[in-house]
Chain A
Amino acid sequence: MSLDYSQAQASSSSVTIPTSHSRKSAGSSSTSPSTPLRTTISSTGFEFPAIWNFPPFFTLQPNPSTLSHQLELWRNLVLSWARHDRVFEVNTEGDVGDVFNNKTIKRRLLPPSLKRLMLEMVKNGEAAPDPPKQDTRYLLYWRKPDEWGDLIYTWVTDNGLNASIMTFYEITDGDLSHTTEFYELPTPLLRKALESLVKRGKAQLLEGKGEVGEGVRFL
């Protein structure tokens, strides 16, 4: 929303500021209803909520209780956006996704704020640094690794592929997986998903040999 200074001034220059007690005396005030903040539909069809057009939303708030609420809104927003646009990774210092940069109101979540948000998401099990122990690149868990594992395992059983050996590539990019939800799942996330299956005794990871990449045997 653009409410330029001169406009705002003009609309309220003659107003004596009414206090809460003197509402009657304020009859002359010409309240200019400012443009309501609306939801925005992105090019991919994702609907950004109205608060995404609220400029201070892109500044982490100094008031602790406001901040915690704000971070919660951000976490939910990032998860639903990533789910919708199938975004798996965030690089806090690289080319950040649409959600972090609102071109219309010219506000963006700057790297330090973005890092803070990612930490918060990590704390809530909604993201993980990848590789571990650094704070620029993160995997987004709009679906948790073990949920991905379950999806893959169900798919494997449905297609009678259990007890067979598959490469990582075959799972995420093979002919059979085009229609699956884990199509083009990034390898680090795939590995975490498979590891969760290993832990539950449903799969066995096989090291890659030479030309052949890493593989997995479903049990």
Chain B
Amino acid sequence: MRKGAGISALSRHTTTTSSYSTLSSSISTSQLSSLQTQLESFRNALVSFSIAHRNDIRKDPAFRHQFQKMCAAIGVDPLAGGPAGSGASGSGGGVKGWWNEMIGMGEWEFELAVQVVDICVSTRGENGGLIEMGELIRRVERLRRGGGGAGSGPTGQNNPSKNTSTVTTTSSGVGHNETTITPEDILRSLEILSPLGAGYKLHHPTPSSTFIRTIPKSLDTDQSTLLALAATTGGRLRPREVRLQTGWGEVRVQLALEDCVMREGLGWVDEQGDASGEVWIIAATDFGGS
């Protein structure tokens, strides 16, 4: 068959092209709509997921962690947007706000951040603005249990009006069905706080320990060294031992310990120890899980 070079061939060609383009546009329309359907169902799935697992997300740290990883993987930040001001936000913010409300993740984090601040501020008198991660978590948990106030700390019993024995609260091991908080949660809440200029800084005197400096003043090198040493001795600093470990002169040791007590308030003096001038860094002292 020979393709005609006539006018009819030309018109046939035009028809073909136009029908192709019609087809193409109809295909992309259907693709778009199916994509929209998919997105819609993804969204619905997420909604039902988050409704179903809202409590798990809030209470189970492992689940929360996985959830956060998943969010990061798909490029969604469960924290984006504020806890409340989502309603008025536009196209972009709408999703964020929706997300936020759905999961309550933001609310959870903000609540934690507030509690962290509460504890950091209220324990400054005791620890001079340095708190160990585990201790901070224990205090948050105690605060959430409604047991002694944030300031009670290792005293465990802040409230004189409770004359029921405190044995029950500690030995019955409350906390199984309570919210458990992990160091990652605390770190996230510190991130939230950073734009506020709270100046909370992390210290790692040993690889396995994390301390949070809760006042904007950073530790000088001698103080950091003392902290590092204290982290290995359960908080106790004996002048002789400090001298051996650091190679500092007697005067420098004495001054550093004195600063630790008087200037920073990190250290507590023990006058009844077997060597004079013993100082304990309270933040590095393990008060157990009670």
Contacts and interface: CB of A to CB of B under 8 A. Distances in A.
Interface of A: 1, 3, 5, 8-9, 11-12, 15, 17-20, 23-24, 26-27, 29, 31-39, 41, 45, 47, 49-51, 54-59, 61-63, 65-66, 68-70, 72-73, 76-77, 79-80, 83-84, 106-108, 142
Contacts, number: 182
A5 B242 CA distance: 12
Contacts of B286: 33-37
Given A35-B234, A39-B170, A18 B206 contact: yes
Contact of B207 (A23, A35, A84, A142): A23
B14 interface: no
Contacts of B289: 36
Interface stretch (B37-45, B70-78, B124-132): B124-132
Interface residues of B, number: 64
19 contacts: A3-B233, A3-B236, A17-B246, A26-B207, A35-B286, A47-B165, A47-B167, A49-B154, A51-B154, A54-B268, A63-B128, A63-B261, A66-B125, A66-B128, A76-B159, A76-B160, A80-B163, A83-B160, A83-B163
A110 B126 CA distance: 21
Interface of B: 124-126, 128, 151-160, 162-163, 165-167, 170, 203-209, 219, 221, 224-225, 227-229, 231-236, 238, 241, 244-246, 261-262, 265, 268-273, 278-280, 282, 285-290
Given A31-B232, A54-B285, A62-B262, A80 B206 contact: no
Contacts of A36: 286-289
Contacts of A106: 272
A39 B282 CA distance: 16
A19 B223 CA distance: 9
Contact of B157 (A11, A19, A76): A76
